[in-house]
Chain A
């Protein structure tokens, strides 16, 4: 039985979306995360077990390999695609309240910055770990973040920047959000930022890669068993 969830984890780890997908070549013709997830539901696995022991296990391995430079963005995107596709089968259970998400995570690239590959990867990894992810896109103004946080009390926020020229906009956004929501947890990531910058601008956590963001969110999410 455990074998079935491991199949899901394996497909996510190697980016096998569904049977029709040609990637990875050595798994051609085999069922993917999509089919295995349906089978698991039909066999009576709970959505939470599928999430925890299928999706999260797979995405954890992906995150670790990415952090160790063993895989790069393309492999990670395929894994995220496999996860997102399979997640659709679990969505009805989350919507009905039968299964619970860890919480809401709001993510976006800061004002003036049009780059979103890193932000998308982080968002997908975090979604794969059982968070409701609200992706505000790129070039997101502070007010847009604030508005979204007001609508989702208790959420956490992730800010991304790729350009050295938009780091200051990130600082401004953190500043404004912290003033209005002192308890709000803010994560930052992106090529030019680091832990020292995070401390300097008063954000809560610097995520060097999506995996560390996932770990941090696990630590701060309360009331979520398993």
Chain B
């Protein structure tokens, strides 16, 4: 199979999948349960989520391993099963993806702060390397280091992934609007800071995820694009800011709302568009339709 970066640099737009956490909850995962343990205890339910995104038209399928680093698993007494649970996560998504879709192993933040000396850089690097290697062993083509806010942690994760696997490495950080055309993570990192540090570390794709909905994302993409004219960009937005209605958390952005923002994202410089919290296969299906139409227009020379 081709590489993600080969496809996007050839001008082809791709679709990534949507949320896992909210989908697992809908499948019965309870608050306080470890989502990654489901790779061992409920593999069929996890497989069904992966398959639903394949069916919806996503080219890149993530894995149920966002909180699968040993620090987060330790909270559930599962640190010893880090390798097993990550490998299983990748195997399940590989199963759903077959040979013509990419599997992106999900790597989330450690939950530890380097600045407060809760963890050493070496400890963090080793934990990310352990997770990355296990995801590759389970069949991941790529690794997506996501929802990062601390640049040093993101950098360690990118290095751990690049130096210990043959996977393509994608990295997204979560920015909030901090002024006119100004975006920062909670740790004070701007899109330009991210590009400078992670680009140097050899990351293959950069981007942004989670956040305050897809409408905010074009501005962030423009900032990334300004800092690097070429780097492939991935965007995975939430389905808006969640509201609470009648005892349920509801994400306001419909598939139509999200799909209507895709062209602006692509114009701003995005190559891969998917979803984050609150999105489901319905959102991805509509996004995929827009992406497909842009790809067709590109082929026909009718797109910019």
Q: How many of chain A's residues have a CB under 8 angstroms from any CB in B?
A: 33
Q: Which secondary structure characterizes the binding site on chain A?
A: helix
Q: B residues within 8 A CB of A192? A: 241-242, 249, 277
- What is the CA–CA distance of A72 and B21 in the complex, to the nearest angstrom? 27
Closest to B115 in A: A74
B116 & A167 in contact (Cβ 8 Å cutoff): no
Q: Which secondary structure characterizes the binding site on chain B?
A: loop
Q: Can you list 14 contacts pairing A with B, beta carbon distance less than 8 Å?
A: A72-B187, A72-B188, A73-B149, A74-B115, A115-B111, A117-B186, A138-B75, A164-B238, A166-B31, A167-B244, A168-B244, A171-B247, A192-B242, A201-B244
- Besides A114-B75, A192-B241, 19 other CB < 8 A contacts? A69-B178, A71-B188, A111-B31, A112-B32, A114-B111, A117-B186, A138-B75, A163-B21, A165-B21, A165-B22, A165-B249, A165-B277, A167-B242, A167-B249, A168-B31, A168-B247, A171-B247, A192-B277, A196-B243
Residues 161-196 of chain A: 1 if any B CB is under 8 Å from the residue's CB, otherwise 0?
Answer: 001111111010000000000000000000010101
Q: Does B125 contact A (CB under 8 A)?
A: no
- What is the CA–CA distance of A71 and B30 in the complex, to the nearest angstrom? 37
Q: Does A77 contact B (CB under 8 A)?
A: yes
- State the Cβ distance, A112 to closest chain B Cβ, in Å: 3
A69 & B184 in contact (Cβ 8 Å cutoff): yes
- What is the CA–CA distance of A75 and B244 in the complex, to the nearest angstrom? 33
Q: B residues within 8 A CB of A69? A: 178-179, 182, 184
* A164/B184 contact (C-beta < 8 A), A69-B179, A192-B242 known: no
Q: Does B25 contact A (CB under 8 A)?
A: yes
B187 & A168 in contact (Cβ 8 Å cutoff): no
Q: Which of A111, A139, A164 contacts B242 (CB 8 A)?
A: A164
B72 & A114 in contact (Cβ 8 Å cutoff): yes
Q: Does B113 contact A (CB under 8 A)?
A: yes
A168 & B178 in contact (Cβ 8 Å cutoff): no
Q: Does B2 contact A (CB under 8 A)?
A: no
Residues 99-127 of chain A: 1 if any B CB is under 8 Å from the residue's CB, otherwise 0?
Answer: 00000000000011011111000000000
B116 & A77 in contact (Cβ 8 Å cutoff): yes
- What is the CA–CA distance of A115 and B112 in the complex, to the nearest angstrom? 9
Q: Does A219 contact B (CB under 8 A)?
A: no
Q: B residues within 8 A CB of A112? A: 30-33
Q: Which of B72, B75, B188 contacts A73 (CB 8 A)?
A: B188
Residues 62-91 of chain A: 1 if any B CB is under 8 Å from the residue's CB, otherwise 0?
Answer: 000000010111110110010000000000
Q: Does B278 contact A (CB under 8 A)?
A: yes
- What is the CA–CA distance of A171 and B247 in the complex, to the nearest angstrom? 8
Q: Does B38 contact A (CB under 8 A)?
A: no
- State the Cβ distance, A111 to closest chain B Cβ, in Å: 5
- What is the CA–CA distance of A26 and B242 in the complex, to the nearest angstrom? 43
A117 & B31 in contact (Cβ 8 Å cutoff): no
- What is the CA–CA distance of A169 and B186 in the complex, to the nearest angstrom? 24
Closest to A117 in B: B113
- State the Cβ distance, A182 to closest chain B Cβ, in Å: 20
- State the Cβ distance, A9 to closest chain B Cβ, in Å: 22
- State the Cβ distance, A27 to closest chain B Cβ, in Å: 18
* A171/B244 contact (C-beta < 8 A), A69-B179, A72-B188, A73-B187 known: yes
